Structure 1
Amino acid sequence: MNHLLKSYIKFLWNSKNEHGVHSPFVFDLVTKCFYDNTKYPEYSLLKNTSKRVKLLVRIVWYFEPKTILETGNANELNTNMFSSEIISFEDFIKNINSNNDTSFDFRLSTFDFIYFNQNESQKTTLAYFELLLPTITNDAVWIINDIYKSTENENTWKIIKKHPKVKVTIDTFHFGMVFFRAEQEKEHFVIRV
């Protein structure tokens, strides 16, 4: 049995729906966003209309971020469906380097939403994660794509979940969501979508 299938069976065994969620914040996200079955006409603008991509679009709509930073293969969120400014991490770094700004401090930037499009190694993903931590706000939403695609991705997800600044995580199998909400106790959710 391959890694992805084993991981999916384990995910199904451990996952819950909205009835197993006791956090009001997560319950609202699950019921109002994850389980929203509306056939939005905007979906026709998507290059990829998979269930996972539609969910990602709904999550962006739900949180209404002003700025989205995308690491890795910067084409997943490349759409005009959002009012958010979408910045590629690589373009962001190139811009800093082209301006010879060696004094740039990430703590001076904030991103409401960061999408880690995991085509990177564990070392690179974790380096980006640590590098971008100074940009977090209490309401920041970080999404780690393909958390079960490989053993390395799965191990990366486990490391991220344990990070002391991470308060809430949601595992939807296709991606993991990370929240830094200071007012919440550390909690991990595994949600069937």
Structure 2
Amino acid sequence: MNHLIISYLKFLWNSKDQHGVHSPFVFDLVTKCFYDKTKFPEYSLLKNTSKKNKLLFRVVRYFQPKTILEIGNSTEIDTNIFSSEITKFEEFQKNKLSKNDNTFHFPLLTFHFIYINKSHSQKTTLDYFEMLLPTITNDSVWIINDIHESIENENFWDIIKKHPKVKVTIDTFHFGMVFFRVEQEKEHFVIRV
């Protein structure tokens, strides 16, 4: 059987809706964002109007980040419909990073929202993850795309969930959400959307 089908069946078996969520922060996110049935006019402006992209739109709209960093090719975040400042990592790498001894050094920056389109190897993506940790705040939101697309992606997702700085993770099957809220107990949620 195909890996994606097996992963989806496991996801369905383990997933919950808002009734299985006891964290007020996650409950609000699920009920006010994930399950928001509003037909936003901006949906028509999306390059791809899939269920996943509509959810991604609602998540960005819900958190209203000032700055977004997108890592990886093939954009999912449409720059035309958000008022946030969106930077592609490749542009950022060329313009704002200095390379010294094969190590990237970030200037003092904060990214409120980071979208990782997992198009690199696990090692490269983990390097990006570690490299970007100094930019987090308590309210940072990271989304990692296609966490179940392959065994390698699932392994990467497991490593992220166990990272000591990561407090809350949410698996929506198509992407994983990562939060660093120090006031929260470490917890992982699997949410049907």
TM class by smaller structure: over 0.9
> What is residue 25 of structure 1 aligned with on the other side?
25
Q: TM-score, normalised by structure 2?
A: 0.95
1:96 to partner: Cα distance: 2.6
CA–CA distance in structure 2, aligned partners of residues 24 and 44 of structure 1:
32
User: What is the TM-score with the length of structure 1 in the denominator?
Assistant: 0.95
Which amino acid in the other structure matches residue 148 of structure 2? Y
Query: Using the alignment, how far apart are the partners of 1:174 and 1:91 within structure 2?
Result: 26
1:129-165, CA deviations, whole angstroms, 9 ceiling, x for partnerless residues? 0000000000000000000000000100000000000
- Shift of residue 76 of structure 1? 1.2
The RMSD of aligned alpha carbons is: 1.5
* Structure 1: 5+ residue stretches without partners: none
Q: Which runs of 4+ in 1 moved over 4 A?
A: 100-104
Q: Distance in 1 between matches of 2:68 and 2:122?
A: 22
Tell me the matched-pair count. Answer: 191
Name 2:55's counterpart in structure 1.
Answer: 55
The answer (yes or no) to whether the contact 1:46–1:79 under 8 Å persists in 2 is no
Please give the alpha-carbon distance, in whole angstroms, between the structure 1 residues aligned to 2:177 and 2:83.
Answer: 21
- 1:144 aligns to 2:147 (yes or no): no
Query: Match for residue 171 of structure 1?
Result: 171
Query: Aligned partners of 2:38 and 2:130: how far apart in 1?
Result: 37
Q: Share of identical aligned residues, percent?
A: 76
Query: Could you tell me which amino acid in structure 2 is paired with residue 168 of structure 1?
Result: V
Q: Which amino acid aligns with 2:14?
A: N
Q: Which runs of 5+ in 2 are unaligned?
A: none
Residue 105 of structure 1: how far off its partner (Å): 3.8
Following the alignment from structure 1 to structure 2, what is the Cα–Cα distance between the partners of residues 80 and 153? 29
Deviations 1:73-120 (A, max 9, x none): 1521133111100000110010035xx675974261110000001111
Equivalent residues in 2 for 1:13-92, closer than 5 Å: 13-92=13-92
Code of the residue aligned with 2:5 in structure 1: it is L
SS at match of 2:188: strand
- Matching residue's letter, 1:151: I
Distance 1:85 1:79 in 2: 8
Cα pair 2:117 2:144 within 8 Å, conserved: yes
